[in-house]
Amino acid sequence: MIYRKYVDWKVRVHKKAAKRAEKMPLNVRVIFGALIRDLVQYGPAQPEWPNYSKLTHARFHCHLNYSYAAVWEVVDNEVRILEVTYVGSREDAPY
């Protein structure tokens, strides 16, 4: 069992990312919702998610399934605010 410290983060979804999420298949939107819950609960580091990696000191990404990915960044570390900047096709992902 992996112990993870519980912290409360505020997670915003960028307007373009939200529009892309609406166009994804339902099963991928459910997975995206689970990612959002994990981000709220545990913060930006999500090592249990497939292909999770730290892109820069404040940007992260993971795969939702084979075809879809999500990218998020820390907006404010003191107030604990994250923003999902991209969700959609892995091929178009900005990483």
Counting the structural domains of the chain, the total is 1
The residues, any chain, with a CB within 8 Å of residue 21's CB and separated by 6 or more, are 13, 29, 32, 87, 88
Establish if 43 belongs to a structural domain: yes
Establish if 1 belongs to a structural domain: no
Establish if 63 belongs to a structural domain: yes
Establish if 48 belongs to a structural domain: yes
Tens digits of residue pLDDT in 67-87 = 999 999 999 888 899 999 999
Domain CATH number, residue 37: 3.30.2310.20
Q: Give the CA angle between residues 30, 9, 78 to the nearest 5°.
A: 155
Torsion region of 51: left, alpha or beta (phi above 0 gives left; psi -120 to 50 gives alpha): left
The reported pTM is 0.87
Establish if 4 belongs to a structural domain: no
Note down pLDDT in tens along the chain; length 95 residues: 555 555 689 999 999 999 999 999 999 999 999 999 999 999 899 999 999 999 989 999 999 999 999 999 999 888 899 999 999 998 887 87
Establish if 62 belongs to a structural domain: yes
